[in-house]
Amino acid sequence: MNAPEFEQTQFIQQFINLTRSGYNYLPTDQHLLELYHEHLKKLKSNFDQLLLDQGYSGVLIHSGDAPLKFLDDAHYPFKANPHFINWIPLDRHPQAFLWIAPKETPLLFIFQKNTYWYKLPPAPHGRWCSPFEIVHYSDEEEIYKILERKFVNGVYLGECPPSFQKWKFSAYNPESLLKNLNFLRNTKSEYDQACIQIANYFAAAAHQQVAELFKSGRCSELELHYEYLKKLGTREEDTPFDNIIAFNQNASLLHYVDSDTTPPSVHSPLHSLLIDAGAKFHGRNSDITRTYAFNPHSEFAAMISALEKVQQTIISEIKIDTIYPQYHQRAHQLIAQLLIDFKIIQHLNAEEAVAKKITHTFFPHGLGHALGIQVHDVGGKTMKNEDVDPKKASEQKQAEKDHPCLRLINEVQNGHVFTIEPGVYFIDFLLKELRSKEDGAYSAYINWERVEKFKKYGGIRIEDNILIKDNKVHNLTRRAFDAIN
C-alpha cells in the first residue's frame, strides 16, 4: 500500500510529494512506519512500567469529544487528547478509546454508528495499526462490558463527562501518573522528531508563500492568512494554533490573531509583517515566526537582521546538560546590546541594562518552550531532573522567580525539541510604565525619540524549532527553509 492507512490528515499527498522530491532528513513512508512502531514499543514499555509502579491494572485513554456550544446544536471543533495522539496520530476521531494494560495487546475502540448527519471518521486498518486490536463500537456500554472488571483498578485519562463517572475507575487523571507521562513526553522518539521535521517543511513552504505576497503590498492580513492555509491545504481548525499575521503596530501584540481585512493603501501604508504560524503532521507540530520589513533598506530591516544574529548566536551556544533558563538570560544580554547599538538604550552598558530589567520592557516573554504534540508542550516544568546538581537546581529556582513567563526550565538533553524565539517589541503601555518607573528615574536611560521612530513597526520575533540529538543542535526550521529555497 502506498500511503499509511492510519494517516487521515490532508497533508499526506504533500508529504509523499516531498519525499519523492528527495529532501534529506525526510523518512520514506516505510521508514516512518518503522519509526512509528518503534515509538509504540517504547511507549508500551514506559506505560507498563509506570502502571505497575503505581499499582494500576491499566489505563483507558479517551480521544475526547467535540463539545456543544451553549444553547446550540452546533459543536466546537474537535481537539484530541494529546495523550491519545501520543499513541495514535488520529486527530479527527472523537469518541475513540485506547485501553493499555501491562503485557496485554492495546485495545483501540473506534466509534462507528450509522448516521446521515455526519461523515464518520474512517475505520483505521492496515499496517499502521497492526500493534492494536481494533474494536468497533456504537454504544459506550459495549466498552464497559468488555473492560468492566478491569476498571476496578484501572485509571482514566482524558476529559471526563459525568457519564464516565459511573464506570468506577480507581482514579481519573491522577496527578502522579500525569506528571510522569508528561515528563516522558519531553524526550521525543525518532518518530516524533521525523513528524516535527515534516511539520517544519509544510510551515516553511507556507511562510515563504506569505512572505512573497507581503512584498507585493496588495494583501490584507486576512488574505495572507487564507494564503497560508491554502498552501498548507488545511482547514483553519487543523493548524496547531491560530495564525498570527500582524502588520505594523499589530505586531506589538504578542498573540494578535484578529486578521484585519483592510488592504494596505496610501492611508494605511505597510511597514512590517510578523507571522507566527505552524503546521501539524501526525499530530506533531511546528511553530515558526518570521518578521519582515516592507522597506528592505529601512533601519527596521537592519534591526531584524541584528535580532536574527542574536537568535543564531544563542542557538550556536546551546549545549547538552545545561539548563534552558541560561539561554533566556543570555537572550536578555544580547538584546540589551542590540538596543544599545540601535541607540534605544543609553547611558548604560548591556549588563547594567539587564540588571535594571530594562530589557523586560522590550522582550517581555520567554525565550521559548518545549514543542511536540502540544505547541507549548508539557513537561518543561513539571518535574526536574532528579540528578540535577544543586547549583543548577538553584539556578532553575531563581529563573522561575525572575522569569515567570518562561515555560521551560529543564536541562537540555538528547531528544528534546524546543523553540528559540527572541523578540524586540515596542509596546505602548510597557514603555509608559518604564518611563514612569521609580518616579521617572529610568526615563533617562531611553532615547524616546528613537523609540517613537520604531513604534510603527510593532515588533520583531524570530522563532526556530530546535532538536537536540547525538549531543548536537539540529535546527529543524532552517533545514526546512534551506530545502525549499
Give the footprint of Mn ion on this chain (CB under 5 A): 287, 419
CB-based contacts of 422: which residues, under 8 Å, 6+ apart?
A: 307, 310, 311, 314, 331, 334, 335, 363, 367, 461, 462
Q: CA–CA separation, 328 vs 94, rounded Å?
A: 38
- Which is nearer to Mn ion, 182 or 465 (by Cβ)? 465
Name the residue number minimizing CB distance to Mn ion: 287
Nearer of residues 190 and 287 to Mn ion, judged by Cβ: 287
253 within 8 A of 208, measured Cβ to Cβ: no
| CB of 288 vs Mn ion, minimal distance in Å | 8
* Sheet strand arrangement including 464-469: 417-420, 464-469, 472-475
**Rounded to the nearest whole angstrom, what is the least distance from the CB of residue 123 to Mn ion in the complex?**
35
CB of 375 to Mn ion, least distance (A): 7
Q: What is the smallest separation between the CB atom of 463 and Mn ion, expressed in angstroms?
A: 5
Q: Which is nearer to Mn ion, 63 or 291 (CB)?
A: 291
SS3 174: coil
* Least Å from the CB of residue 244 to Mn ion: 10
Extract the runs of DSSP E, i.e. beta strands, from 268-409.
Answer: 272-281, 284-293
Q: Which is nearer to Mn ion, 137 or 327 (CB)?
A: 327
If the CB atoms of residues 143 and 370 are measured against Mn ion, the closer one turns out to be 370
Q: Whose Cβ is closer to Mn ion: residue 94's or residue 422's?
A: 422
Residue number with CB closer to Mn ion (43 or 198): 198
Sheet bearing 284-293, strands edge to edge: 244-247, 272-281, 284-293
- Return the number of the residue (345 or 417) whose C-beta is nearest Mn ion: 417
The residue (of 252 and 419) whose beta carbon lies closer to Mn ion is 419
Output the CA torsion 331→332→334→337 (10° steps): 170
* Cα distance from N-terminal residue to C-terminal residue, the chain: 31
Closer residue to Mn ion (CB): 51 or 417: 417
Write the burial class of residue 401 (CB in 10 Å: 0-12 exposed, 13-18 middle, 19+ buried). exposed
SS3 at position 303: helix
Phi, then psi, of 111 in degrees rounded to 5: -75, 120
How many whole angstroms separate alpha carbon 297 and alpha carbon 309? 17
**Minimum gap (Å) between residue 285 Cβ and Mn ion:** 10
CB of 464 to Mn ion, least distance (A): 10
CB of 369 to Mn ion, least distance (A): 6
Comparing CB distances to Mn ion, the nearer of 35 and 199 is: 199
Q: Would you state the cell numbers that stand for residue 139, as one nine-digit string?
A: 454504544
In the numeric block, which cell numbers belong to residue 410? 529543564
Radius of gyration of the chain (CA): 24
Least distance between Mn ion and beta carbon 135 (Å): 38
Handedness of CA 112, 116, 118, 121 (dihedral sign): positive
- CA–CA–CA angle 199, 201, 206 (5° rounding): 95
435 Cβ partners below 8 Å, 6+ apart? Answer: 442, 443, 446, 448
Residue 363 to residue 371: CA distance in whole angstroms:
21
CB of 376 to Mn ion, least distance (A): 7
Instruction: Provide, rounded to whole angstroms, the least separation between the CB of residue 466 and Mn ion.
Output: 11
